[in-house]
Amino acid sequence: MDALAVIVDAPRRLALRTLSLTDPGPSDVVIETHWSGISSGTEKLLWTGAMPRFPGMGYPLVPGYESVGRIIDAGADVTGRIGDWVFIPGANCYTEARGLFGGTAQRLVVPSTRAFPISEALGVEGVLFALAATARHALAGGDPPDLIVGHGVLGRLLARLTIATGAPAPMVWDNQACRRTGAQG
């Protein structure tokens, strides 16, 4: 089986190419990807060549931290999942490229336990599921933050969740001028 995928071949070298996928095992599912999200942090560093060495990363690499799609096939142990709409926190199913995150491909092969059912009504916003969970876990069990460093998507989400709990609005700081504006309240 193969899939069309986005590939970062080397710094500043991006391609769209068909890749072979690993064969699904008895507890794996095959997902037809509808949407995929990428990181403006890690994957931007890979694009520019500034990413520090990290296990599992290198070139060529399929980007995409998370994806949303439908299970279209499944191994013998999990056939009951066919048709499920799911969130996938990345994939590593390519024979010719790294896929530490690897969600930006037409199809993915992942263990069934890594395909989390979500409401299809979320649509494209389903790719934010992991980000929302990260923000919620960061705030769980402690005092609300007075300061949030970073005014990107996660920082803005942390600030909004803090306010939603009834806590005072935190100070949000960012060292990039272009990210210091745009969010009110």
Residue 131 in domain: no
Are 71 and 154 within one domain? no
Distance from C-alpha of 177 to C-alpha of 74, rounded to nearest angstrom: 47
Residues 96 and 149 in one domain: no
Q: What is the pTM for the complete model shown?
A: 0.80
On whether residue 80 sits in a domain, the answer given is yes
pLDDT tens-digit series, residues 41-71:
778 888 898 888 877 778 999 988 789 999 9
Distance of alpha carbon 88 from alpha carbon 85, whole angstroms: 10
Distance, CA of 21 to CA of 103 (rounded, Å)? 12
Residue 106 lies inside a defined structural domain of this protein:
yes
72 close to 31: Cβ distance less than 8 angstroms: yes
Domain residues for 152?
A: 141-179
**pLDDT tens per residue, range 111-146:** 999 999 999 999 998 988 778 877 888 888 789 999
Q: Quick check: helix, strand or coil at residue 71?
A: strand
Separation between Cα atoms, residue 57 and residue 46, nearest integer Å:
9
Q: The sheet that has 28-37: what strands, in order across it?
A: 107-111, 28-37, 66-74, 85-88, 116-117
List, for residues 145-170, the tens digit of each pLDDT value: 999 998 887 888 899 899 999 999 99
pLDDT of residue 155: 87
Q: Does the residue 155 lie in any domain?
A: yes
Smallest CA-to-CA distance from 64 within 93, 90, 88, 94 is with 90
Q: Which residue has the tokens 């949000």?
A: 172
